Structure 1
Amino acid sequence: MKEVKIETTLQVYLNIDELPEAIQDLMDKAVKARENAYAPYSKFNVGAAILLDNNEIIIGSNQENASYPSGLCAERTAIYYAGAKYPNAKILKMAVSASSQNKVTNKPIPPCGACRQSIAEYEIKQNQPIEIYFMGKEGKVVKSDSLANLLPLLFDNSVL
């Protein structure tokens, strides 16, 4: 048997004001997108903003459905729209902000597993990492230089 240790390095900012100005703007767009979430069941609103290499910014918010699996997370809403509208553009950065209508979310909330897998698909497709910034409604912001930091043992087309 061989033991394998996997380590991840993330950067933590105390709040949105510590971020570089361009990232503050991107996160502000994610926060505004969060306000457009349709989350009557979970009461959990998420907004995402994506910066493409053509300088376009794509936003998305979670959209729920009474049949839960039919809904879609903010990150996938944004990333799929970016892929549909700008299929040859590379995704450089993604900002995500999540909040609950039931309690204060003051710790960073990362993308869910399904969103991580979807982001991984685009990172692999473009052969370039995607910087991901995520936060709750307030408080600290976490930066990952690549989706691979959040999903180190990812499932990709090499196993198909």
Structure 2
Amino acid sequence: MKSLLDNGQSWVLNRIEYAGGLDIFLQELKRGPKADANIDGSTIENVYPLLADEGSLVTRVTFSDILAWQCLNESATTDFPGEVYKSSGFLSVLSSSAYLNYVLSSHGWYVEVQERPVQHYRVWSENEILDVVAFSPPVIEPVNA
């Protein structure tokens, strides 16, 4: 799914607000100057760090009509086998996923109550992965532009 998020080098979760809808605030990370990175006593030479600065764009991804959502620490996740999705990198639309199957099998009464289909969206950032099962696509807008 093409979106404003495609214009950024990468994104980091700034905050989440849930009050009548789900607002996900992401801050743009920009490629910094080449440097050596020291990680647990090992040095990786000539890498470009991703950094946020005062000029970094902040976006709000708003889901106004949701069924379920979860937030996962990105460092604790790996491949999601068997998933089918269309992706632009930072925002994906999944037509098949373990999370969607879980929501539908555990909370399937929504079909009789809502009488409309849901879609699984995944918002990816450097630090968190957000899975949202919603009745309509998100609205993405700049906050500090």
TM-score range with shorter-chain normalisation?
under 0.3
Task: Please identify the structure whose Cα radius of gyration is greater.
Answer: 2
* Bigger fraction of residues in helix: 1
Higher relative contact order (CA 8 A, sep 6+): 2
TM-score (norm 2): 0.27
